[in-house]
Amino acid sequence: MLTTVVIAIMESASRDSTVHSGSAVLHGIRAALTTPLVLACWVGIAANAANVPAPRWLLDCLSMAGAAAAPVALFALGLHLGAAGLQLRGADRDEYWLIAMKCVAFPVLAYTVAHFGFHLAQPWLGYVVLIAAMPSPQNLFIFAQTYDTDVDLAASVVVKSTLVTLLLLPLWAVAVVRS
């Protein structure tokens, strides 16, 4: 669902500014719903709901293609960083803000909503917080590359939030267990 929303926003924002905003939003929604990733999800859901039998060879092929998605995205990220480089110092304020939001504020927000809003207890509370504390996904880089929107910032945030997560994840685990 979130991927569909992100694609709709990016598509409507990438439209020509002379196009009526309602038309741009409809274009964004149409583009999001017809993206191969979203179409594949809908086809899978429909086939499952209709109890359509799939041959084993087809399931194996689809499973292999699905398992290759993350490594291929990370390979693309590595190629980009190899060409552009990664600056560990001299990052701009936006980069620090995005990393802090993802690695600190988002887990705190997840804890607050899960604990006080939904009254979740352990172990589910811990699961929610630890999932929220994960680094920025490579989808951020893929979307930035697809829509040609600050690819360097996206690549940097993915890598640096991963490094920060390596340091903070054990602290989040301890904090959640003790709460």
What is the rounded CA–CA span in Å between residue 152 and residue 77?
A: 10
Listing DSSP states for 132-169 in one string gives: HTSPPPHHHHHHHHHTTS-HHHHHHHHHHHHHHHHHHH
Could you list the pLDDT tens digit for every one of the 179 residues in the chain? 666 676 777 766 665 555 556 676 777 777 777 777 778 888 888 988 999 888 899 888 888 887 877 777 767 767 766 666 665 556 678 888 988 999 999 999 999 999 999 999 999 999 999 999 988 877 777 778 777 888 888 888 888 888 899 999 999 999 888 87
pTM above 0.85, yes or no: no
Q: Which residue in 151, 157, 143 sits closest to 95, CA to CA? A: 157
Q: Token pair for residue 116?
A: 């006080």
